[in-house]
Structures are given as C-alpha cells and as structure tokens.
Structure 1
Amino acid sequence: MIRFIGLRVLQAVPVLVGSTFVIYALVFALPGDPIVALFGDRTPNPAVAARLREQYHLDQPFIIQYLHYLGGVVRGDFGTSFTGEPVADILARTFPVTLRLAALALVLEITVGVTLGLVSGLRAGGPFDASVLVLSLLVISVPVFVLALVAQDVFGVWLGWTRPTVGQGAPIQDLLLPAAALAAIGAAEIVRVTRATVADTARMDFVRFAAAKGMSRGHVARVHVLRNSLIPVVTLLGTNFGTMLAGATVVEGVFNVPGVGRTLYQAIIRGEGPTVVSLVTVMVVVYLVVGLVVDLLYAVLDPRIRHAS
C-alpha cells in the first residue's frame, strides 16, 4: 500500500508543476497593465508604478516571474495581492467557506445520486426508472448558473424557505441552497452511472447465487450489488469534485458566498496575477489530493488494483 501511495504522489508532482506553469502563462498573457488597473481612473505616479512592478517582478521576463512564484510556493509563500494583503491570509479566510460548500454539495450528490441510482437500477425498465432517467437528463442539460438563479428565485425569493444570499460567516443553513444548486448536475450524472452499473451487476451470476442462498433482497443489494458497482461512481465523484471547485466560482457569485470562487472572479477582473495563480494552484492541489483519495478507494473496493500496481 505504501508503494501504491508513493507512486501516485510522484505522478502528481509533474501535474502540479505543469498546471501552475500553464496557469501562470495564461495570466501573463492577459492584455493590459495590472499596475495601471490597480489605480482605476487615476494616473499612477511613474516612480510608484515602477516600484510596484519591481515588487511583483512584473519588470522581469515571464520565466523569471514564474520561477520567483514557484520558489515562493515551495517555501509556503503564495505572494501578496495588489492590495497589500498576503494571499495566504486571503486563502485562510475564503478557502474554508468554499471547502464547506463543496463538501456539503458532495454529501448531497452522493446521497441523492447513489440512492436514486441504486433504486432505479434494481427496478430497471419500470416507471420509476424511466422517470428518474428523464429527470436526470433534464437536470444535466441545464447550465449550473441557470440552476443557481432558478433555485435562488424559487426557494429564496418566492417561497422564502431560505435566505436568497449567504449571510455573514456563511452558516451551514445558508449554504444548503447553493450546495444543492452546485450538486444538482453531478447528482444527475451519479444517478445515471449508478443505475447503469447496478442494472448490469444485478444480472451477474454471483448476485443470483447470493439470492438463491436465501439472503434478503436488501442484503444482496447493499453487499453484492452496490459495492461491486461503486468503482465507476467513485471515479465520477473524484472528477465532479474538481468540477464543483470550478462551478463554485459561478454559484458563489450568484449567492454572494464569501469563498474562493468569488474572490477568484474579483481577482481576474482586477488583473491580480499573483492572487489568481495562487488561488487556482490551491484548487489544483485539492483536486490532486482528491484524485489520490479516489485511487485509494479503488484499492479498498477492489484489491486487485492495489496488487496490480
């Protein structure tokens, strides 16, 4: 198992370096002068502008800027935003909020997606199965920002079941509606994948043998059908978590959630390269960690994967 984990960690290193390089290159290629944008409509003093460019290494070639940034990341220094606040402080303030939102959305996605997918797969071909397939297809076809706006209007404004925007401190009860909007598309995908794998697994000989031995239908469904259907679901969950981090940018903007997504959007608008790259880098690290956890779950669900590695 240690060798298995070590190989996955080593594979993640070039991915992290490559992704940060691409992100930094894209930010570097953005048009405009971020120092001029920092002053808004005012004309910056040339001496002040020159000092700021030197402070943020903007007067040096791209590769030198990137190496400065990479060296800072290795030392745990994510740099300073153009407002003078350390990016580490911004992350400490916003990242826990986004993590709570994504974790809550993931719980909703697993609960709704796996439950509906399991029941639908065990009743494949019936009216419940057909209804779930149609509903999941409708949800998948709607963009996340449309789902967020509709949920905000219906449940937050018209029905008044919850606040239409997230309050100070982002309490859990205020995050339920944004989390549901964020999880909706992923849950619909989990439903379809779970339904397909459960329907295939339920027809296998070992499942029929377990039922023939007199085991209860619930025991067969939980132990023999569901566990052997989870590897495709776990793969999709790992991918969906990364999609959630990206979708959080939109959802946090709609519901005014004080998280990384909204901060990232504001940093892009202001042209704050160091802040943008650092926030995205942290998201990449989280995505790689989730990928490692998914690989470990593979090994738990199917020991043949661990031994083959």
Structure 2
Amino acid sequence: MLYYLVRRILQAIPVLIGTTFLIYFMVFAMPGNPILGLFGDRAPNPALLERLEEQYQFNQPFIVQYLNYLGNVLQGNFGLSFSGQSVNEILARTFPVTLQLAAIAIVIEIVVALALGLISGLRPGGIVDYFSLGFSLLLISMPIFVLCFIAQFFFAVQLGWFSPTVGANTSIGNMLLPGIVLALFVIATPIRLARTSVMETSRSDFVRTAYSKGLSRRRVVPVHILRNSLIPVTTQFGSDFGLLIVGATVTEGIFNVPGVGNTLYQAIIRGERPTVVSFVTVMVLIYLIVNIVIDLLYAALDPRIRYAK
C-alpha cells in the first residue's frame, strides 16, 4: 500500500502544477489592468501605478510571474491581495468555514442517500423506491439557486426554523440550512447508485450462501450487502465532497456565508491573480487528497482488493 500511495502522490504533482499553470494563464489573459480597477474612475498617479505593478509583478512576462508564484507556493507563501492582506491569512479565515459547510452537507448526503438507497434496493417497486425516484428526479431538474431561494423563503422566512443568512455567526445551527441545500443538490446520484448497487449485491452468490447458512437478515444486510455495495457509492461521495468545496459559491453568496465562494468571486471581479490561483490551487489539492483517501478505503471495504506494486 505504501508503494501505491507514493505512486499516487507522484501522479498528483503534475496534475497540481498543470492546474495552477492553466488557471494562472487564464487569469493573466483577462483583459484590462486590475490595478487600474482599484482606482475606479480616478486616474492614478503614474509613479504609484508603476510601483503597484512592480509590487505585484504585473510588469513581468507571464512565464516569469508564474515561476515566481510557483516558487513562493512551494515555500508556503501564496502572495498578497490587493488590499495588502496575506492570501495565507484569507485562506486560513475562509477555508475552515467552507470545509465546515461541506462536511455538514456530506454527512447529510451520506445518511439520507444510504438509507433511501438501501431500502429502495432491498424492496424495489415499493413506496420508498417510488418516492426516492421522484425525489431524485425533482432535485436533478432544479438549479442550485432555486433550491437556495425555496429553502430560504419557506424554512427560514416563513417557518422560522433556521436563520435566513449566516453572516459572521458560523455555528452549526446557522450553517445547517445551507448545508441541507448543498446536500440536496448532489444527493440524487448517490441515491440511485446505492439502490442499483444494493440490488446487484443482493443477487450475488455469497449473499445466497449467507442465507443458506442460516444467517439472519439483520446480519446479512449490513455485513454482506451494504458493505459490498459501498465501493461505487464511496467513489461518488468522494467526488461530491470535492464538488461541495468547489461549487459552494452560489450557496455561500445567497446565504451570506463568509467562506471561499464569496471571497473567490470577489477576487475574480477584482482580477486578483494571487488570490484566485491560490484558492483554486488549494481546492485542487484537497480534491486530489480526497480521491487518494477514497482509493485507500477500497481495501478496507473489500478485502479482496489489493494494491499491486
């Protein structure tokens, strides 16, 4: 397993470098001078403009800027924002909020998806199966911003069960409603995937053998059926966790969550190259780590899986 882990880490390095290069190139290719945008309609002093461009290395060729940025990243320095604040400090302030939101969403997704998928797979054609099918189709057809506004209006404004916005109070109670919305946004696929996987596993020879040996249904379902059905679903959960971190921009904006999404959106508007590239770099890094962890979980879920050297 150690050899496999080292190999996966080595494979992730060019992916990370290539991603930062593409993002940096796209941000660099954006039209206009972002420094001029800081002054609005006012004309900046030429000396001040030149000093700011030199400070943020905008007067250097693209490849020089990128290599300098990459060298700083390898030293743990993500640069400065246009406000003069360290991007490291912004990351340290905003990423825990987004990670908390994604963690709440993924826990809700896992519990609901496995429950509905398991019941639907064990009893296809039942009430729960038809309900999960309709529920999944409804969620797939609904954009995330519609889900946000519906949840915010009915459950926060009308019923008063949740706070309509998060703001500075990022407690679990305040983050619960946007977490539920994010979970609903990605929950349809794992529900159907869990149902299909449970149905296929239930027809396997080892399940019939377990029943023929006299094992009870309470023993067979969690140990033999559910465990062996988790491999494809676990892969989906890993992908969804990365998606929740990256794709929480709309949800954070509507619910005023002070996380990565809001900060990244503002950085894109201002053309802050270090902030945008640094945030995307950390997102890609987290996504790669999650996928490596998911691959390592396969052996724990299925003892027949071995990692070849």
Which of the five TM-score ranges fits, normalised by the shorter chain?
A: over 0.9
Counterparts in 2 of 1:240-259, with a 5 A limit? 240-259=240-259
Q: Which residue of 2 aligns with 1:63?
A: 63
Runs of 4+ in 1 over 6 A off after TM superposition: none
Q: Which residue of 1 aligns with 2:8?
A: 8
Q: 214-223 or 49-58, which moves further after superposition?
A: 214-223
- Deviation of the 1:131 alpha carbon: 1.7
Counterparts in 2 of 1:98-109, with a 5 A limit? 98-109=98-109
Q: Work out whether 1:284 is the aligned partner of 2:278.
A: no
Q: Counterparts of 2:261 and 2:293 in 1: how far apart (Å)?
A: 23
Counterparts in 2 of 1:172-183, with a 5 A limit? 172-183=172-183
Give yes or no for contact 1:144–1:247 (8 Å, CA) kept in 2: no
Q: Give the 3-state SS of the residue equivalent to 2:4 in structure 1.
A: helix
Q: Which residue of 1 aligns with 2:161?
A: 161
Give yes or no for contact 1:182–1:247 (8 Å, CA) kept in 2: no
Superposed CA deviations along residues 111-168 of structure 1, whole A, max 9, x for unmatched, are: 1111111111111122321221111111112111211111111111111111100042
Q: Work out whether 1:26 is the aligned partner of 2:43.
A: no
Q: Counterparts of 1:188 and 1:40 in 2: how far apart (Å)?
A: 45
Q: 1:40 to 1:305 in 2, by over 3 A?
A: farther
Q: Counterparts of 1:174 and 1:167 in 2: how far apart (Å)?
A: 9
Q: Which residue of 2 aligns with 1:189?
A: 189
Q: Counterparts of 2:169 and 2:71 in 1: how far apart (Å)?
A: 33
- Deviation of the 1:212 alpha carbon: 2.1
Counterparts in 2 of 1:215-254, with a 5 A limit? 215-254=215-254
Q: 1:11 to 1:239 in 2, by over 3 A?
A: same
Q: Give the 3-state SS of the residue equivalent to 2:306 in structure 1.
A: helix
Q: Give the 3-state SS of the residue equivalent to 2:76 in structure 1.
A: coil
Give the letter for the 1:149 counterpart. Answer: F
- Deviation of the 1:304 alpha carbon: 4.1
Give yes or no for contact 2:167–2:258 (8 Å, CA) kept in 1: no
Q: Counterparts of 2:140 and 2:306 in 1: how far apart (Å)?
A: 33
Q: Which runs of 5 or more residues in structure 1 are unaligned?
A: none
- Deviation of the 1:305 alpha carbon: 3.5
Q: Counterparts of 2:306 and 2:52 in 1: how far apart (Å)?
A: 51
Give yes or no for contact 1:4–1:306 (8 Å, CA) kept in 2: no
Q: Which residue of 1 aligns with 2:125?
A: 125
User: What is the TM-score when the length of structure 2 is the normalising length?
Assistant: 0.97
Give yes or no for contact 1:267–1:275 (8 Å, CA) kept in 2: yes
Q: Counterparts of 1:220 and 1:299 in 2: how far apart (Å)?
A: 20
Give the letter for the 2:22 counterpart. Answer: V
- The CA RMSD over aligned residues, in Å, is 1.2
Q: Counterparts of 1:108 and 1:127 in 2: how far apart (Å)?
A: 22
Q: Work out whether 1:261 is the aligned partner of 2:266.
A: no
Q: Work out whether 1:294 is the aligned partner of 2:294.
A: yes
Give yes or no for contact 1:151–1:177 (8 Å, CA) kept in 2: yes
Q: Counterparts of 1:292 and 1:304 in 2: how far apart (Å)?
A: 19
- Deviation of the 1:306 alpha carbon: 2.8
Give the letter for the 1:59 counterpart. Answer: N
Q: 132-141 or 88-97, which moves further after superposition?
A: 132-141
Q: Give the 3-state SS of the residue equivalent to 1:27 in structure 2.
A: helix
Q: Give the 3-state SS of the residue equivalent to 1:308 in structure 2.
A: coil
Give the letter for the 1:51 counterpart. Answer: R
Q: Give the 3-state SS of the residue equivalent to 2:22 in structure 1.
A: helix
Give yes or no for contact 1:121–1:196 (8 Å, CA) kept in 2: yes
Q: Which residue of 2 aligns with 1:52?
A: 52
Give the letter for the 1:33 counterpart. Answer: N
User: What is the TM-score when the length of structure 1 is the normalising length?
Assistant: 0.97
Q: Counterparts of 2:41 and 2:252 in 1: how far apart (Å)?
A: 28
Q: Counterparts of 2:252 and 2:185 in 1: how far apart (Å)?
A: 16
Give the letter for the 1:222 counterpart. Answer: P
